[in-house]
Amino acid sequence: MTSLRFPDGFLWGAATAAHQIEGNNVNSNWWEMEHRPGSPVVEPSGDAADSYHRFAEDIRLLAELGMNTYRFSIEWARIEPERGFVSRAELAHYRRMIDTCLEHGVEPVVTLMHFTVPRWFERDGFWRADDAPELFARYTETVLPILDGVRYVCTINEPNIAAMLAGGEKAENLVAHGLAFPDLHVADQLLASHRASREVLAGRGGILSGWTIATQAFHATDEEGSAEKLHEYGYPRDFWYLENSAGDDFLGVQAYTRTFIGPNGPLPVAEGVETTLTGWEFFPPAAELGLRSAWELSGQVPLMVTENGIATADDSRRRAYIQGSLEGVHRAMADGIDVRGFQYWSLLDNYEWASGYRPTFGLIGWDPETFARTVKPSARWYGQIARSGELPV
Ligand code: LGS
């Protein structure tokens, strides 16, 4: 048996987002939306995985499994529950999370905004508001003091998806089609917010900042008109954001599947093709393709796979997916692409937004009554690769 060797210092980990695992994120716009009559979500987030109280156990498990990095997000709605009011207790909470990572030799990769914002921010105009970049920069300044020892900071998670969410597109449409045309003003405001936040972070020195982009592996079919459609389709959803990452310290690549584009737009997954619990094609080359297009379009910004994974009840398929992904990441690196690390999505089964708790992405499951954690076999297998830096093939 041979194996693929990854460089020393490669970051091996798993990712989460606050709203999807913490529970009771009551001051956020998502919580409010989940409880609105006629809300498009299948169920509210409730206690989620109760990771707000169990983060120490979650980080310990991650470290014991052999991983050396944890990507998680800080919740703006907790830090600033009302406009201009800062919660010192919540700042201390996230500082404890960072300390817990450092105590376990785990590199924290911190996301400042992972889809959810405070209720007041949405009420006051959301990303469309003129002062959105200023407000986001002020929030960044507020959290800066707790970021000691943190190297990688992701400002905004998937601005290309966040633009759709803020464009008034309903979550159910977003999940069903992936993809309404984003509002370009919102996209510009997200970019301005990212840059304002970056400037604050750069002032501290030692922090590498970037944002994370949902890359989509769009493929045109052979039909006439598909190639034009592909550009029309991919550009505002993905390519524009990658191009605007030039000059960042790093860029997070998030990749899951691929989408075929015909002359009339995206096509459903062809019959007979393996799909996962989200209905997306099982397509492990997604990470490699995302890295290649991000590298090219950004003008060679250092990359990190900040999300990649599948929702499945069959854990052996998760292992097969990760195996395929990592082989692709290795190929990209062998071609000279600078990839700093790989974060599996997700560390825990979690609240998958409009789809609720049904799609299980986690390396670790939990009991809905007691929240007791169960480590899945794929987590032990992945941890072994992380520990050794070698992928048997
Ligand atoms: O849980 C989210 C994961 C799951 O799949 C996470 O919060 C997001 O950052 C990220 O968007 N996530 C994700 N994206 C996959 C998008 C694939 C869309 C495919 C559409 C096919 C029609």
Please compute the mean of the pLDDT values over residues 164-188 and round it to a whole number: 59
Q: How far apart are CA 107 and CA 9, in angstroms?
A: 11
Question: Which pLDDT score, from 0 to 100, does residue 177 have?
Answer: 44
Contact predicate 171/353, CB 8 Å: yes
Cα 213 to averaged position of ligand 1 atoms, centre (Å): 11
Cα pseudo-dihedral 320, 325, 327, 333, rounded to 10: -170
Please compute the mean of the pLDDT values over residues 261-278 and round it to a whole number: 94
Q: Which residue has the higher pLDDT, 165 or 305?
A: 305
Q: Is 360 in the pocket of ligand 1 (CB under 6 A)?
A: no
Q: Is 75 in the pocket of ligand 1 (CB under 6 A)?
A: no
Cα 359 to averaged position of ligand 1 atoms, centre (Å): 11
What are the phi and psi torsion angles at 344 (to 5°)? Answer: -70, 135
Summarize pLDDT for 135-144 with one digit per residue, the tens.
Answer: 999 999 999 9
User: Is residue 307 annotated as part of the catalytic site, yes or no?
Assistant: yes
Summarize pLDDT for 48-57 with one digit per residue, the tens.
Answer: 999 999 999 9
Question: Which pLDDT score, from 0 to 100, does residue 183 have?
Answer: 66
Q: Is 161 in the pocket of ligand 1 (CB under 6 A)?
A: yes
Q: Is 349 in the pocket of ligand 1 (CB under 6 A)?
A: no
Please compute the mean of the pLDDT values over residues 155-168 and round it to a whole number: 85
Please compute the mean of the pLDDT values over residues 67-78 and round it to a whole number: 99
Q: Is 386 helix (H, G, I), strand (E, B) or coil?
A: helix
Helix (H) or strand (E) holding 102: helix 88-103
By most ligand atoms within 8 Å of CB, the mutation choice from 218, 267, 278, 318 for ligand 1 is 278
Q: Is the pLDDT of residue 19 over 90?
A: yes
Give the model's confidence band at 354: pLDDT under 50 very low, under 70 low, under 90 confident, else very high.
Answer: very high
Q: Is 201 helix (H, G, I), strand (E, B) or coil?
A: helix
DSSP bridge pairs for 262? 265
Annotated catalytic residue, options 22, 80, 107, 158: 158
Query: In one letter, which amino acid is 328?
Result: G
Q: Which residue has the higher pLDDT, 239 or 299?
A: 299
Please compute the mean of the pLDDT values over residues 65-73 and round it to a whole number: 99
Helix 88-103 × helix 132-143 angle, to 10°: 60
Question: Which pLDDT score, from 0 to 100, does residue 178 have?
Answer: 47
Q: Is the pLDDT of residue 231 over 90?
A: no
Give the model's confidence band at 120: pLDDT under 50 very low, under 70 low, under 90 confident, else very high.
Answer: very high
Predicted ipTM beyond 0.85: yes
Question: Which pLDDT score, from 0 to 100, does residue 169 have?
Answer: 46
Q: How far apart are CA 175 and CA 18, in angstroms?
A: 20
Cα 3 to averaged position of ligand 1 atoms, centre (Å): 30
Question: Which pLDDT score, from 0 to 100, does residue 229 have?
Answer: 83
Spatial neighbors of 44 by CB under 8 A, at least 6 apart, are 31, 34, 35
- Which atom of ligand 1 is found nearest the CA of 259? 21
Q: Which residue has the higher pLDDT, 148 or 1?
A: 148
Give the model's confidence band at 196: pLDDT under 50 very low, under 70 low, under 90 confident, else very high.
Answer: very high
Please compute the mean of the pLDDT values over residues 73-97 and round it to a whole number: 99
Give the model's confidence band at 179: pLDDT under 50 very low, under 70 low, under 90 confident, else very high.
Answer: very low
Give the model's confidence band at 234: pLDDT under 50 very low, under 70 low, under 90 confident, else very high.
Answer: confident
Considering the chain, what is the average pLDDT of its residues? 94
Nearest alpha carbon to residue 255 among 210, 291, 299, 211? 291
Question: Which pLDDT score, from 0 to 100, does residue 174 have?
Answer: 42
Stretch among 40-44, 159-163, 348-352, 383-387 having the lowest mean pLDDT: 159-163
Stretch among 207-211, 216-220, 249-253 having the lowest mean pLDDT: 216-220
Give the model's confidence band at 187: pLDDT under 50 very low, under 70 low, under 90 confident, else very high.
Answer: confident
Cα 334 to averaged position of ligand 1 atoms, centre (Å): 27
User: Is residue 103 annotated as part of the catalytic site, yes or no?
Assistant: no
Q: Is 257 in the pocket of ligand 1 (CB under 6 A)?
A: yes
Question: Which pLDDT score, from 0 to 100, does residue 317 have?
Answer: 98
Stretch among 21-30, 226-235, 376-385 having the lowest mean pLDDT: 226-235
Q: Is the pLDDT of residue 175 over 70?
A: no
Nearest alpha carbon to residue 364 among 346, 382, 381? 346
Summarize pLDDT for 279-313 with one digit per residue, the tens.
Answer: 999 999 999 999 999 999 999 999 999 999 999 99
Question: Which pLDDT score, from 0 to 100, does residue 173 have?
Answer: 44
